[in-house]
């Protein structure tokens, strides 16, 4: 299976279990790896035979900006399901970064990574 990757999609969301997270929001960063067969698109040099990653990026940002959830695990699942709606995408790996998570010790990042497939 071939891979199309998008890294560093940024959007402001209001996800989290604490009131401050829901009120003020924070930046979330999403990395995606989409698994699909790119041979038909490459053979015909035809965008309609592959995934339009620009549209996927817009949809993922809309999910992050959309309805708040408590957990980034839930957010990752919603993003994965959005990606799998695209014809030809057989598998997706989603990594959600929450670099401003409310943690009381120094840290660089918090991430949740999931892999989902049509099967």
| Whole-number Cα distances in Å, 55 to 7, 21, 75, 97, 109 | 14, 28, 18, 21, 27
Residue 60, CA atoms < 13 Å, CB-side half-sphere: 31
Comparing CA positions, the residue from 74, 62, 61 lying closest to residue 17 is 74
Active-site annotation holder among 10, 20, 49, 98: 98
Residue 87 is classified by DSSP as T
| CA 30 – CA 79 distance, rounded (Å) | 9
User: Is 98 part of the annotated catalytic residue set?
Assistant: yes
Catalytic positions, written as ranges: 98
């Amino acid at each position: 299976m071939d891979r199309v990757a998008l890294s560093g999609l940024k959007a402001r969301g209001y996800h989290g279990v604490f009131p401050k997270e829901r009120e003020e929001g924070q930046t979330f960063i999403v990395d995606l790896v989409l698994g699909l067969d790119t041979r038909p698109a490459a053979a015909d040099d035809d965008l309609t035979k592959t995934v339009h990653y620009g549209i996927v990026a817009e949809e993922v940002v809309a999910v992050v900006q959309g309805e708040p959830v408590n957990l980034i695990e839930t957010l990752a699942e919603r993003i994965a399901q959005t990606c799998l709606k695209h014809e030809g995408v057989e598998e997706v790996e989603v990594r959600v970064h929450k670099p401003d998570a409310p943690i009381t010790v120094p840290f660089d990042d918090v991430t949740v990574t999931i892999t989902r497939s049509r099967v």
